[in-house]
Amino acid sequence: MILILTCSNDPSADFVGEKMTNRGLSYKRLNLDEVRPKGHLSLYPQSSAGYINDGVTEVDLEEIKVVWQRRIPRRTIKHCDPMISEYLTQEWRLLWEWWVNQIPASNILDSELHLKEASNKLLQLKRAKEIGLKTPDTLITSCPEAYKSFLSSHKSVIAKTLGGFGRILEEDKAFGTIYTNRVDTNSIPDSGSIKTAPIILQEEIEKDFELRVTVVDGIIFPCKIESQKSGKTLIDWRHYDFKNVPHSKCELPPSIEDMIKTFMNDFGIHFASFDLAVTPNGEYIFFEMNPNSQWVWIENLTGMPITDTLTDSLQSRAEVSNVK
């Protein structure tokens, strides 16, 4: 059996589940955020025995052959007592991380340990430079003087968060996030605001177009995003303007493909997306890698068989493996 680990309201997991159903594959999906309020579990650490129930689906852990670790709950569990809220959040988060991390790497796509390391943007930029990928000049700071000095050293600077902060908005259930923004040099934040939290500053790269490159088990799916054709997406294509911003399948130079494969191998992961830009001079600039990323809109717009390839990957693992 293939097990999809995720949370409720995950359209990407829905998409993969539909593919598995169409193929007649044996799989189950657990919404881990529903286990505490609606279900229950029992795990026996000295063996592979136990079960997890999310209120709808119950999984016998000894029947699992491969796990797709799509999402682990990370939101704060609400309680009227802040200390109890902190305790509940800690215990459930530790349980999911510890359980997932004891699954052999060959039986999971991908392990939490590898995903955490691969999500580290400091390590990403360092490794990208080591293997030959070009990167923007970058500063992570909470120092007002360093902030102002970096701005004065570059023609234009963008700012972004370390963790890609995003949340479901309570009022309308829509997803809200902090986008990448150009820093207004005529309106520099006061020193107190700069000290509040570290921020990533990067030189702004002049773009001809951008790339979203999805990789599944070494198979590369490059998508060209013509973000500079819309004022909404000049800085961050996540402002989505599909009517005016073409998305199309493209090819990468072999050298860039090789570096992307090396990058993923170094982090020990098998499924991720890369964000790059191509300058008017034809230079490829690496921004970041997103492990266990979003891809469905790329597939819908380009027809590239990303979901089929992801399903192939899980199916092939299930045919040769058993989780111990």
What is d(CA 220, CA 251) in angstroms, rounded to the nearest whole number? 9
Q: Give the count of beta carbons closer than 10 Å to the beta carbon of residue 302.
A: 18
Q: Which residues contact 28 (CB under 8 A, 6 or more apart)?
A: 1, 2, 3, 4, 57, 59
Where does CATH 3.30.1490 sit in the chain? 137-204
pLDDT confidence band for 163 (50 / 70 / 90): confident
Q: What are phi and psi of 198, to 5 degrees?
A: -65, 150
Integer CA distances (angstroms), 299 to 110, 175, 211, in order = 21, 21, 14
Phi-psi region of 33 (alpha: psi -120 to 50; beta: other; left: phi over 0): alpha
Instruction: Write down the pLDDT at residue 322.
Output: 52
Mean pLDDT of the chain: 92
113-134+206-313 belongs to which CATH class? alpha beta
pTM metric for this prediction: 0.91
- Asked if residue 175 has pLDDT above 70, the reply is no
- The tens digit of pLDDT for each residue in 207-262 reads 999 999 999 999 999 999 999 999 999 999 999 999 999 999 999 999 999 999 99
Where does CATH 3.30.470.20 sit in the chain? 113-134+206-313
What is d(CA 8, CA 185) in angstroms, rounded to the nearest whole number? 41
Question: Tokens in use for 45?
Answer: 């650490």
CATH code at 137-204: 3.30.1490
- The tens digit of pLDDT for each residue in 98-150 reads 999 999 988 999 998 999 999 999 999 999 999 999 999 999 999 999 999 99
Q: Walk across the sheet containing 27-31 and list its strands.
A: 27-31, 2-6, 66-69, 108-109
Helix (H) or strand (E) segment spanning residue 297: helix 296-302
pLDDT confidence band for 190 (50 / 70 / 90): confident
What is d(CA 98, CA 202) in angstroms, rounded to the nearest whole number? 35
Integer CA distances (angstroms), 195 to 69, 142, 177, 182, 213, in order = 35, 5, 21, 19, 35
Q: Give the count of beta carbons closer than 10 Å to the beta carbon of residue 139.
A: 19
Q: What percent of the chain is predicted at pLDDT more than 70?
A: 95
Instruction: Write down the pLDDT at residue 308.
Output: 96
Give me the mean pLDDT over the 16-27 stretch.
95
